[in-house]
Amino acid sequence: MTTTAGLSSDRLLVQIASYNTALQGLRGVPQDLVDWLSPTLKVSKFLSRQHRAPDIVAVGFQELLPLHQGLAGRSSGVIKDRNALILSQLEAHAPNGERYSLVAHVVNVGVALLVYALDDGVSRHVRDVQTQWTGCGPAYMGNKGAVGVRFRVQTKDGGLGEVYTFVGAHLTAHDYNIARRISDYHHIAGSLLFPPLPGSPSGASTTMFSTSHLFFLGDLNFRLDLPPTSPYAGRVNAHRVEAALDTQSGREELKEFDQLLQERRKHTIFHGFREGEFWAFKCSYKFKIGEVDKYSGQRTPSWTDRILYATYSDSPDITDSSGITSLLYTSIPSYTTSDHKPIVALLLLPSSTRAHEPDNTIPLLSLPHNFTPKPDPLTGIKKYTGRILDRIIGLFWSLLVFIGAGYTVVGICNFVLGLGAWTWWRSKPGNNSANV
């Protein structure tokens, strides 16, 4: 681990990035990833006199590739290319020439998560790497859902150490679907299940909350819910919203209408989580594609893309502070190939020194007394029902795109015309085997 003045060497630095690519994954990333994945080059004043590379880097994608290809399970090539590009950019811009290794990657339809660790540090102590996925689309399909990566970092003397869990998600869209988003979250909390932790009873699946540190990222799709009496409500006042987003005070005012913040205050979702000041940057959605700083006008701008976190040292009763220090939380406006802007967070974890605890225990999150996450006993049935439907629909849809020369509507027309021609040919005397 790189040691720098002003930062305790036992406090890990975790960088988290999330991007809804708007189905552009097959086209790659035209811009240099340094703006998104190497923020320490620009925020070194927050860290120390020297640059410090993150110990762990997690990169999440949503809508990574066209939906029909994702449903058909044709994501391996895209993930391979993205991994190579991310690694090359991380190492090309690492402040001290550091190198990284891929700890794990997981993808379900268009939701993907890749987690990296510093070779000369965390990577040497990673154990028990696990990946999981779950769908919460119609009939549990994967057009919406979550993926997860979990691993344990043992202590230098071989102790159990701490467990890290990263979850990347894409929840139901549209401002009026807030109940569906809340349901999506609770489905993920109950069905994104991992094997038991070391020292736990064998056979007992664990939820994402059975961990020392938990990070939840992605396009969560919560919107600005502006009441009709608000001076910002309605398309006629869209210019007022955009003007307010240009100022810190305006964003602080608008944040009070953020659905996610409102629901967290009501304790309906994200129990035990914290979040940095998302209103420090402009809404990450919905931009005109190809534009750096112009919203489309088709939707109310919203902070749909978010990064939340929890750690074992946090008290469930004090939600306005955390043992995790948020050093950076921002969006990257220069990316213009999607109607979303990528976001990035730089988090400094609490000290891993636990001299008062035995080496044979793993510290776990403390949750509110009124929240007890329970594994869904039907998880397996739901997951694989959705996966089977994904593949059936994805393969048929891919066939339509193929016969339509890349266009689904043309493929449907060609399919109908072909079916009609075949039926007509079969009906002609001499072409039906029943007439023989």
CA nearest neighbour of 254 among 319, 300, 208, 210: 300
The angle subtended at Cα 21 by Cα 308 and Cα 380, nearest 5°, is 65
Tell me the backbone φ, ψ of residue 247, rounded to 5 degrees.
Answer: -125, 150
Specify the residue for token string 């931009």: 287
pLDDT at 394 (0 to 100): 93
**CB-based contact 260:220 (threshold 8 Å):** yes
Could you identify the residue written with the tokens 């940095």?
A: 276
61: helix, strand or coil = strand
| pLDDT at residue 132 tops 60 | yes
Quick check: 355 and 75 in contact, CB under 8 A?
no
The residue with greater pLDDT, 314 or 49, is 314
Cα 18 to Cα 29: distance, rounded to the nearest angstrom: 14
Q: Each residue of 151-194: pLDDT tens digit?
A: 999 988 888 899 999 999 999 999 999 999 999 999 999 999 99
Say whether pLDDT at 224 is over 60. yes
Least confident of 13-17, 43-47, 238-242, 347-351: 43-47
Q: If DSSP states are collapsed to H, E and C, what string results for 124-181? A: HHEEEEEEEEEECCHHHCCCCEEEEEEEEECCCCCCCCEEEEEEEEECCCCHHHHHHH
Q: What percent of the chain has pLDDT over 90?
A: 57
pLDDT beyond 90 at 59: yes
Dist. CA 417–CA 116, nearest whole Å: 50
Beta bridge partners of 146: 134, 169
Q: What is the DSSP string of 211-235?
A: SSEEEEEEE----B---TTSTT-SG
Q: How confident is the model at residue 356 (pLDDT cuts 50, 70, 90)?
A: very low
How does residue 7 score in pLDDT terms, banded at 50, 70 and 90?
A: very low
Q: Please tell me the distance from the alpha carbon of residue 225 to that of residue 74, in angstroms, as a whole number.
A: 36
Count CB atoms within 10 A of the CB of residue 263.
17
Among 18, 16, 91, CA closest to 56: 16
300: DSSP letter? -
User: What's the pLDDT score for residue 44?
Assistant: 40
What is the predicted pLDDT for the residue at 258?
97
The DSSP output letter for 333 is: T
More confident residue, 95 or 433: 95
Both tokens of residue 418? 């072909």
C-alpha pair distances (Å), 287 with each of 28, 36, 76, 244, 293: 19, 17, 29, 16, 7
pLDDT given at position 39: 61
- The 10s digit of each residue's pLDDT in 201-212 is 666 789 999 999
Least confident piece of the model among 230-234, 239-243, 298-302, 431-435: 431-435
What average pLDDT score do residues 84-90 get? 88
pLDDT for 219 beyond 50: yes
Band of residue 9 on the pLDDT scale cut at 50, 70, 90: low
Q: What is the pLDDT of residue 231?
A: 86
Q: Please compute the mean of the pLDDT values over residues 6-11 and round it to a whole number.
A: 59
Place of tokens 């005012």: 253
Q: β-strand 111-118 against 100-108: which pairing, if any?
A: antiparallel
When pLDDT is cut at 50, 70 and 90, the band that residue 126 belongs to is: very high
pLDDT at 321 (0 to 100): 87
Could you give phi then psi for residue 215, rounded to 5 degrees?
-125, 130
Q: Are the C-beta atoms of 70 and 109 separated by less than 8 Å?
A: yes
DSSP state of 176: G
Distance CA 31, CA 342 (A): 12
pLDDT in tens, 256-279: 999 999 999 999 999 999 999 999
Q: Tens of pLDDT along 393-418? A: 999 988 888 887 776 777 678 767 77
* Other residues' Cβ atoms within 10 Å of the Cβ of residue 22: 16
Cis, peptide link before residue 286, omega less than 30° from 0: yes
First to last CA, the chain: 80
pLDDT at 434: 47
- 310-354 tens-digit pLDDT: 999 999 888 888 999 999 999 998 888 899 999 999 999 998 755
pLDDT of residue 2: 37
